[in-house]
Amino acid sequence: YRPSSRRFPDPVHLRIEDVPEYGYAGGEERTALDALAARAGELREKVLRKGELIDRDAVWVLKRQALEVLYGVERGPGRAAALAAFTEAGGRELEDHATWCALAERYGAEGASWPAGLRDPRSPETERARAELAGRLDFHRWLAWLTDEQLAAAARTAREAGMAVGIVHDLAVGVHPEGADAWARADAFAAGMSVGAPPDAFNARGQDWGLPPWRPDALAASGYAPFRDLLRGMLRHAGALRIDHVMGLFRLWWVPAGRPPTEGAYVRYDAEAMLAVLTLEAHRAGAVVIGEDLGTVEPGVREALQRRGVLGTSVLWFERDWADGGAPLAPGAWRADCVATATTHDLPSTAARLTGDHVALRHRIGLLTRPLAEEEAEDATEVAEWLACLRELGLLPAGERDEEAEIRAVHAFLRLTPARMTGVWLPDGVGDRRPQNLPGTWGDMYPNWRLPIADAEGRPVTLEELASSPRLAALMDVVRAPGTAGRSGMSGTPGG
């Protein structure tokens, strides 16, 4: 995942009907909007009824056209004043973001192909372009304002619904090397370097993620202003912030351009300073911080995070008692300062794990490093051990296998741990067996992030159907049930 910006949300997620000017549009504007809505309905039907993949680019084309129409609808004095205030508060950050968007419209999103003078946000050529493209800069400031408005409304709705935490935002590990953030903050990123991972048991060749790393010297020289500003933007309407690859606050594997990941090296950051900025901004925002600390984590990292109140991430299938031969870790032995969950967006759904579908999928794509029979046997043993643990705790009755009951039992187990938060992967609520993201795949190998949530039979499920799903309701009843002392009674809410 390589976002153009981590500071400003992608307007592709805007709900067009919730833009106030949508209700004021009339005449030709209304005709154009209705025609675009009809085309959007056709895209929706292709996914829901014909089994096609989500076409993000096609969705954005239609939304972009609708937004261009709405931009021309006259705004009332109150909304005009609110936009002006947002623009003023956004300052240089918003100005640079809007400038990049306008330049990308004219010259393409690949900054390397731009005229040389435009690759520097402070050059005379860029200043002239800002003036020449002033109208387009205004449009992109307006888009940023709309996304901020709708995020604020979502956060407000969450609080009014009684959610103690509300919306959890996700901080990606990096940005696209030619995107808006990398262009605007070029001095803070290491040119000619990419973030990745060293060789390990899962990938003997290592990984290159194609993300430019922060320069630790530039961060320190600026008083960590780029990191601070990023966090303030992310936390603006967040009840919690999840930090992908939280190890990146301590060290990152740098890979030189044109070289394989095996020739990379770890570069350390001032973790004390990074954590100080993080916890200060989270405190100011009143937000919980969650660190994704799965996989190989160097000694001392989890302890450092815990001392500062940063929650870790504990996934059921990985929690083993290695002092007892690797048996499933008893719920009382789990750490308290974590989000307890059955899976993540990078892992198989619980239904896929229970049925072994994830092994079959990796075999079909050619991702297995061992014979299929060995993988299936190991997976079946792991599932059998956990099911036996659930039965021993009285969470699952003996007898015939029942997938829905097993998924509920897995989440009932999570509620027995002292973890401060419980995370539920929404596809688990309807029995979806397909991963949303399959690490190690790219291009046409697997449709990452293009699959709609589907039920156990693979039928796409709409948001309206999710809201009335008996299966999801039964799972949420389990999650809301009282857990151990110090635990909350709601998914996504902190204990205490």
- What pLDDT is stored for residue 155 in this prediction? 97
In this structure, the dihedral spanned by the alpha carbons of residues 161, 349, 13 and 195, taken in order and rounded to 10 degrees, is 120
Instruction: Kindly report the backbone phi and psi dihedral angles of residue 194, in degrees, each rounded to the nearest multiple of 5, phi listed first.
Output: -140, 145
Residue 190 has pLDDT above 60, yes or no: yes
- What pLDDT is stored for residue 441 in this prediction? 85
- What pLDDT is stored for residue 201 in this prediction? 63
Average pLDDT, integer, range 214-226? 98
Report yes or no on 301 lying in a domain: no
Read off the pTM: 0.92
- What pLDDT is stored for residue 491 in this prediction? 38
Q: Give the single-character DSSP code of 330.
A: P
- What pLDDT is stored for residue 107 in this prediction? 97
Q: Which residue has the higher pLDDT, 184 or 197?
A: 184
SS3 per residue for 9-33: CCHHHCCHHHCHHHHCCCHHHHHHH
Report yes or no on 139 lying in a domain: yes
- What pLDDT is stored for residue 439 in this prediction? 84
- What pLDDT is stored for residue 189 in this prediction? 98
Average pLDDT, integer, range 357-364? 95
Average pLDDT, integer, range 443-455? 94
Report yes or no on 156 lying in a domain: yes
- What pLDDT is stored for residue 84 in this prediction? 98
Q: Give the single-character DSSP code of 63.
A: H
- What pLDDT is stored for residue 45 in this prediction? 96
Report yes or no on 81 lying in a domain: yes
Is 320 strand, coil or helix?
Answer: strand
Euclidean distance between CA atoms 71 and 85, whole angstroms: 18
Report yes or no on 3 lying in a domain: yes
Counting the structural domains of the chain, the total is 1
Q: Which residue has the higher pLDDT, 131 or 488?
A: 131
Burial track 352-385 (b if 16+ CB lie within 10 A, e otherwise)? bbbbbbbbbbbeeeebeeeeeeebeeebeeebee
- By mean pLDDT, which of 160-164, 191-195, 321-325, 469-473 is the weakest? 321-325
- What pLDDT is stored for residue 483 in this prediction? 67
Average pLDDT, integer, range 238-264? 96
State the residue range of the domain holding 24: 1-163
Report yes or no on 496 lying in a domain: no
Report yes or no on 338 lying in a domain: no
Is 252 strand, coil or helix?
Answer: strand
Q: Which residue has the higher pLDDT, 487 or 144?
A: 144
State pLDDT tens for residues 254-292: 999 999 999 999 999 999 999 999 999 999 999 999 999
Query: Whole-number mean pLDDT of the chain?
Result: 94
Report yes or no on 8 lying in a domain: yes
- What pLDDT is stored for residue 442 in this prediction? 82
